[in-house]
Structure 1
Amino acid sequence: MLKVHVGNKPLGEQPEEASTFEVDPRKEGWFIDGKAFDGDIATLGNNHFHIIWKNKSYNIEVLDRNPADKTTHLLINGQHYHTTAKDDLDLLLEKMGMQNNSSQKINHVKAPMPGLIQSIAVAEGDSIAKGDNLLVLVAMKMENVIKSSGSGVIKTLKVMPGQIVEKNQVLLEFH
Structure 2
Amino acid sequence: MRPDGRSTLHVLKDSRSYEIKILGTNFSEKKLSIQVNGNTYQAEISDPYDQLVNRMGLLLDNFHKVDEVKAPMPGLVLQILVAPGEEVKKGDALLILEAMKMENIIKSPGDGTVGEIAVQKGQAVEKGQVLLRMA
- Written as runs of structure 1 = structure 2, the 5 A alignment for 1:104-123 is 104-123=64-83
Greater fraction of residues in helix: 2
Structure 1: give runs of 5+ residues left out of the alignment. 1-7, 21-99
Structure 1 position 101, deviation (Å): 7.4
Matched positions, count: 89
Q: Once the two structures are superposed, what CA deviation does each residue of 1:87-109 show, in whole Å capped at 9, x if it has no partner?
A: xxxxxxxxxxxxx9785211010
Q: Once the two structures are superposed, what CA deviation does each residue of 1:85-130 show, in whole Å capped at 9, x if it has no partner?
A: xxxxxxxxxxxxxxx9785211010000000000010001101001
TM-score when normalising by structure 2: 0.58
Structure 2: give runs of 5+ residues left out of the alignment. 1-25, 32-43, 50-59
Where has structure 1 moved over 3 Å in runs of 4 or more?
A: 11-14, 100-103
Residue 135 of structure 1 aligns to which amino acid in structure 2?
A: L
What is the RMSD of the two structures over their aligned residues, measured on CA atoms?
2.5
Cα 1:10–1:167 change in 2 (3 A) is same
Greater C-alpha Rg? 2
TM-score when normalising by structure 1: 0.46
- Written as runs of structure 1 = structure 2, the 5 A alignment for 1:23-102 is none
Q: Once the two structures are superposed, what CA deviation does each residue of 1:19-78 show, in whole Å capped at 9, x if it has no partner?
A: 57xxxxxxxxxxxxxxxxxxxxxxxxxxxxxxxxxxxxxxxxxxxxxxxxxxxxxxxxxx
Work out the percentage of aligned pairs sharing the same amino acid: 47
Relative CO higher for 1 or 2, CA cutoff 8 Å, sep ≥ 6? 2
